[in-house]
Amino acid sequence: MSRQDETIGSAARAEPFDAVGFAARHSAVIFLVALVVVFALLEPRFLSAFNLMNVLRQVSISGLIAIGMTFVILTAGIDLSVGALVALSGLVGAYVAKGGLEDRFAVGASVDAGNPVILAFLAAAAVGMAGGALQGWAVTRLRVPPFVVTLGGLTAFRGAALLFSGGGPISGFSPAYTWWGQGRIATVPIPVVIFAVTALIAHIVLRHTRFGLHVYAVGANPRAAEENGVPVRRVTWLVYVIVGFACGLATFLLSARLNSAEAVAGLGLELDVIAAVVIGGTSLFGGVGGVFGTVVGALLIGVLRNGLVLMNVSSFIQQIVIGLILVAAVAFDQYAAARRRS
Amino acid sequence: MPVLELRGIARHFGAIQALGGVDLTLDRGEVLGLMGDNGAGKSTLVKIIAGSLQPSTGTMRLDGQEVRFARPGEARAAGIELVHQDLALCDNLPAALNVFLGREIVRRIGPFRFLDRGAMFARAEELFAELKSETRPRDLVRSMSGGQRQAVAIARTRLADPKIVLLDEPTAAISVRQVEEVLGLIRQLRSTGHAVILISHRMPDVFSVADRVAVLRRGQKVADKPIAQTSAEEVTGLITGAIEIA
């Protein structure tokens, strides 16, 4: 994805067309299109509407969190705790939905005895935001590096999830709950709709609000931002709350789709999420990137997985390929950045 | 009436006397070159004027009114802008958004407020034109020359139409050609009636742009005279101590 173009309001200049530079800047989009073409040619089932919707639905959960992660990484931070936070907030949401742990496995008549779906969602979102707020506080007030804070969060939230649930899942929700994961509007799965709407809102916030501008400023030069009156601490704290909210929203949709929440949900999810953001062209050093790139990055990973599965490629090889693409994406970006400097 | 008047400004840090009773006046539309060796007290004096340090003793008057600044924000509100040596720019943002960073123009749509990018680009374009700088509002700071960056930092000070602009070593880190550009910016500030204090190590810059030069040595003001009545040799002697006082 383009670093230059995703930087706020960058210059449009009348320069001779630079094909190599263009390719390097838009590497993620070009690669995504190429992948779709290749899979479409090699595997007829790939382009079916059913399969494409399936890819989108799979992408939407980690993609939602990747949108939140984009805010964090733009400030030159990182959040490794998202997978664990998904587990913890999902369990609390499920607990509220069921009105307790007594009939945690009950499927049937008793499922309607719990609380309204909106309460369950709010509970999951509140836990996610509280976890993010706590970590953001440690980053901004205790001045512990985000990598360390959220590495601690990764362990602690997972532990809290196991403690809370006693290790077992909470399953069997009302149809009103599972609709959010399994329902469709027209033919589009609900999680995909929510993913798209969230991406749009996040894009508007980043590009068209004062807060969004401050996120970019904090990522590039926090001292300069501070000297110009940007509330650096508040901005930094808020990005962790935002990714926490994304975890709560994602876990609500995930548990609705699976009709279950469990303490081992989202294991290793942070790696998928960070990969989507980075493949999408957002710099780990902060200040450069955006939501559009992240959506492309998430789609790229989703399409790659799906295509390889359809072609019966082993999941071990998938992991190797995704790892290589991650490194290649960053190498392309470095190359594009070096060209711009010269 | 001078726009700024300092009387007996002193500041010590523990037992160390950084500034020992300095008097200084500044008129509207005047460029004052403030010179001195490292440790002479230039930074301390500038920080006091800009509100990031408080004097131990002495008084400061702005347009005849006695003022005390507890924070840089108070000095800025009173019309004193400081351009830091490092310029405090975000190089991932375009020039115009750097100018407006922290003071963005927003437009209300229902309960939401959105950046009014068009207004900011237009206003920044005007400011750069007033400064006779070729800086383009949409260019990223990353791709700019040192002179253009300086223009962005100076344009920022013009948003509030300040009374006094303090420039801390604006020509220290840029090429010779760009120095001329920055000196042009300073002349432009003077022509619009702003008072400027130029802190510099570079003798030619001060002699080319300043109306008056003040020299600090070991926390004391050892000279304060119109440029026309002094010379580079004399000022050098005053800075090093070869000449005691002028």
Whether B93 sits inside 8 A of A223 (CB atoms) is no
A19 burial via Cβ count (<10 Å: 0-12, 13-18, 19+): exposed
Contacts of B87 in chain A (CB under 8 A): 224
B94 touches A: beta carbon within 8 Å:
yes
User: B139 to chain A: which residues are within 8 Å by CB?
Assistant: 11
Q: Output the CA–CA distances (angstroms, integers) from residue A260 to A37, A62, A164, A251, B207, in the order listed.
A: 36, 17, 15, 10, 77
Of the listed ranges A12-26, A101-115, B49-63, the one predicted with least confidence:
A101-115
Percent of chain A residues topping a pLDDT of 70:
88
Amino acid at A237: W
How far is Cα A66 from Cα A70, in angstroms, rounded to an integer?
6
Domain that holds residue B211: 4-89+161-240
Distance from CA of A10 to the nearest CA of B (A): 6
The minimal CB distance from A225 to the residues B101, B114, B115 is found for B101
Domain containing B53 — which CATH number? 3.40.50.300
Contact B92 A219 (CB under 8 A): yes
Q: Which residues of A52-76 are buried (b: 16+ CB within 10 A; e: fewer)?
A: eeebbbbbbbbbbbbbbbbbbbbbb
pLDDT at residue number A13: 45
The total domain count for chain B is 1
How does DSSP assign chain B, residue by residue?
--SEEEEEEEEEETTEEEEEEEEEEE-TT-EEEEEE-TTSSHHHHHHHHTTSS--SEEEEEETTEEE--SSHHHHHHHTEEEE-TTTT--TTSBHHHHHHTTS--EEEETTEEEE-HHHHHHHHHHHHHHTT----TTSBGGG--HHHHHHHHHHHHGGG--SEEEEESTTTTS-HHHHHHHHHHHHHHHHTT-EEEEE-S-HHHHHHH-SEEEEEETTEEEEEEEGGG--HHHHHHHHHTSS---
A164 SS3 class? helix
Where along chain A do its domains lie? 29-36+45-334
Residues of A with CB under 8 A from a CB of B: 4, 7-12, 204, 208-210, 212-213, 216-217, 219-221, 223-225, 227-230, 287-288, 340
Residue B138 lies in a domain: no
Residue A109: its pLDDT value, please? 42
Q: Which residue has the higher pLDDT, A244 or A333?
A: A244
Binary contact (A216, B117; C-beta < 8 A): no
- The answer, yes or no, to whether residue B142 has pLDDT greater than 80, is yes
Interface test with B, best of A210, A230, A340 (most B CBs within 10 A): A210
Distance from CA of A131 to the nearest CA of B (A): 27
State the best of A221, A226, A283, A340 to mutate against chain B, taking most chain B CBs within 10 Å.
A221
B215: which strand partners?
Answer: B35, B223
A-to-B residue pairs, Cβ atoms closer than 8 angstroms: 84
Contact B92 A210 (CB under 8 A): no
Residue with tokens 């975890």: A247
For residue A303, what pLDDT is reported? 93
CB A131 within 8 A of CB A81: yes
- Which residues of B, range 190-219, sit inside 8 Å of A by Cβ? none
A15-19, A276-280, A301-305, B66-70: least confident range: A15-19
Of B73, B89, B94, the CB nearest to A8: B94
CB-based contact (8 Å) between B73 and chain A?
Answer: yes
Nearest CA in chain B to A289: B92
Residue range A125-145: mean pLDDT, rounded? 97
- Tell me the chain B residues in contact with residue A11 when contact means C-beta distances shorter than 8 Å: 94, 136, 138-140, 143
Cα distance between residue A50 and residue B111, in whole Å: 40
Nearest residue on chain A to B114, alpha-carbon basis: A209
Residue B104 lies in a domain: no
pLDDT score, position B15: 87
- B226 falls within a domain: yes
B90 touches chain A (CB under 8 A): yes
Q: Which of A38-47, A79-88, B9-18: highest mean pLDDT? A: A79-88
Indicate if the pLDDT at residue A3 is higher than 90.
no
Minimal Cα distance from A6: which residue of B?
B92
Window from A283-297, B16-30, B110-124, B161-175 with minimum mean pLDDT:
B161-175
Percentage of chain B lying above the pLDDT 90 cut:
59
The predicted model gives A328-333 an average pLDDT of 79
Rounded mean pLDDT, A119-127: 97
In a domain, B227, yes or no: yes
Quote the ipTM score.
Answer: 0.83
Q: Could B90 and A220 be called an inter-chain contact, meaning their C-beta atoms sit closer than 8 Å?
A: yes
Question: Does B140 contact A224 at a Cβ distance shorter than 8 Å?
Answer: no
Please tell me the distance in Å from B1's CA to the nearest CA on chain A: 31
Angstroms from B156 CA to nearest CA on chain A: 9
Per-residue pLDDT band at A15 (split at 50, 70, 90): low
- In tens, the pLDDT along A271-308 reads 999 999 999 989 889 999 999 999 999 999 999 999 99
Nearest to B90 among A11, A221, A229 (CB): A221
Judged against a pLDDT cut of 80, whether residue A6 lies above it is answered with no
Structure tokens at B173: 């880190």
The answer on pLDDT for A21 being more than 90 is: no
Q: Which residues of A touch B84 (CB under 8 A)?
A: 227
Q: Given a cut of 90, is residue A226 above it in pLDDT? A: no
B112 touches A at CB < 8 Å: yes
| Closest Cβ–Cβ partner in B92, B104, B113 for A216 | B92
pLDDT band (50, 70, 90) for residue A163: very high
Q: Is A187 helix (H, G, I), strand (E, B) or coil?
A: coil
CATH code of A29-36+45-334, in short, is 1.10.3470
Contact A157, A87 (CB under 8 A): yes
| Residue B101 pLDDT exceeds 90 | yes
